[in-house]
Amino acid sequence: MAGTKILLKKGRDESLRRFHPWVFSGAVARVEGAEPAEGDVVAVYSAAGECLGCGHYQVGSITVRMLAFGSPALLPDFWEERLRAALEARKAFGLHGSAATNCYRLVHGEGDGLPGLIIDFYAGVCVLQAHSAGMFRSRERIAAALQKVYGEPLLAVYDKSAATAPFKAGLELADGYLWRALELESGAATMPEFVLENGHKFAVDWENGQKTGFFLDQRENRALVERYAKGRRVLNLFCYTGGFSIYALAGGALSVDSVDSSTRAMEMTDRNVALLQADAKKEPLAPHISHCCDALDFLHGAPEGQYDLMIVDPPAFAKHRGAIPNALRAYRRLNADAIAKVAPGGFVFTFSCSQAVEKQAFTLAVFSAAAETGRRVKILARLGQPADHAINIYHPEGEYLKGLLLYVE
């Protein structure tokens, strides 16, 4: 709402002066001007009346997500400028324009100065997810800015915010295309059948799949699995569409078992294995078996020593701070089972994507799991998210993916 001011309590502006992008409800003294609706751009002022910046207003513990510092309103070219900066960063990271990889995260919320917004790029299609009312209400402007930033290489912009935008904000939530190129409408061009990641082909279902269709944040960790897979029997738990499995097969694994409780995920895994087999041509792949069942039950029932390399990449066990104790217990049980079952001289790649669980707490849970088994365990590497899932140095909360590569004697 133009002219709406959020005034902070005395002494509650320090985090904004350090460019942290959140204004918590407890820091707000009062609202001046018209009562803002959720998603409005509001100006934020210190108790002394100094303009600290502006951002999207929302009801909840985070009252304002800051978009610009020092200015009471967004400039006319704000969206284009911010998206262009994000694309230039992906060029600098060696992602945009790569012959081997044509899928990446263009916008990672606070990491790219756009709190509440995720945009993933899949071979010409941008998939947008709004996690705030402000970003949802801005999606048409975002789609228009994407067309200017990408130009002809952009085929479509798909909005997949129905499951992520705040449902209590009174928004009309429905997934769908915000824009398609004329070539698609006329039939002169088609949607990509697959994307490339480090030269490997993956089918991506951004309309019906989890998140935006593919877990782009594990790209570098998948490549690490490929390096370790040769001559090993691999178990990929919570495999989703088989990303780690494809890399393991490409790396020369003796066998790969992929496990997920989703029938749709296992169908996509089999499709991706078929794409890899087609590229392998005369060289047959190692045996691959898809298991559509509960990953915890499968691991618990697996014989000791059956696998030389395990990938343990569960969904977020803690989506809020209140769930942390239960999540840490779940991580401990899961990792104890994996460490106990992996063959001597084997490897365990274990992860947590729970933003609420801090890196040290996750490491301690895995340490407790290892101690419970009594086996000798070494940490070979600490793993995390890639450069396109950028972490704003002023917003350390953006570091959500954490992992360990373990060697078990």
Please state the rounded mean pLDDT for residues 320-333: 92
Q: What is the percent of the chain with per-residue pLDDT over 70, rounded to a whole number?
A: 99
31 and 92 co-located in one domain: no
| Model pLDDT for residues 108-123, shown as the tens digit of each residue | 999 999 999 999 999 9
Q: Mean of the per-residue pLDDT values for the chain? A: 95
Please state the rounded mean pLDDT for residues 313-318: 91
Q: What is the percent of the chain with per-residue pLDDT over 90, rounded to a whole number?
A: 92
Cα 122 to chain centroid, rounded? 14
243 and 323 co-located in one domain: yes
More confident residue, 359 or 185: 359
| Model pLDDT for residues 248-285, shown as the tens digit of each residue | 999 999 999 999 999 999 999 999 999 999 988 767 88
Determine which of 40-54, 59-73, 273-287 has the lowest per-residue pLDDT on average.
Answer: 273-287
Range of the domain at 121: 78-186
Please state the rounded mean pLDDT for residues 123-147: 97
CATH of the domain at 124: 3.30.750.80
Q: Give Cβ neighbours of residue 305 (< 8 Å, ≥ 6 apart).
A: 341, 342, 343, 344
Query: Could you give phi then psi for residue 348, rounded to 5 degrees?
Result: -125, 120
Please state the rounded mean pLDDT for residues 342-349: 98
273 and 392 co-located in one domain: yes
Catalytic option among 103, 126, 239, 353: 353
Residue 1 has pLDDT above 50, yes or no: no
- Tracing tokens 């350090």 back to the chain, one arrives at 18
149 and 220 co-located in one domain: no
289 and 250 co-located in one domain: yes
Query: Looking at the DSSP assignment, which residues form a beta bridge with residue 51?
Result: 45
Distance CA 281, CA 12 (A): 63
- pLDDT, residue 188, reads 83
C-beta separation of 158 from 177 below 8 A: yes
- pLDDT, residue 79, reads 98
Q: How confident is the model at residue 168 (pLDDT cuts 50, 70, 90)?
A: confident
332 and 381 co-located in one domain: yes
DSSP state of 287: P
Q: Is 293 a catalytic residue?
A: no
- Tell whether 113 is covered by a domain: yes
310 and 268 co-located in one domain: yes
315 and 244 co-located in one domain: yes
| Model pLDDT for residues 371-392, shown as the tens digit of each residue | 999 999 999 999 999 999 999 9
- pLDDT, residue 282, reads 64
DSSP state of 405: E
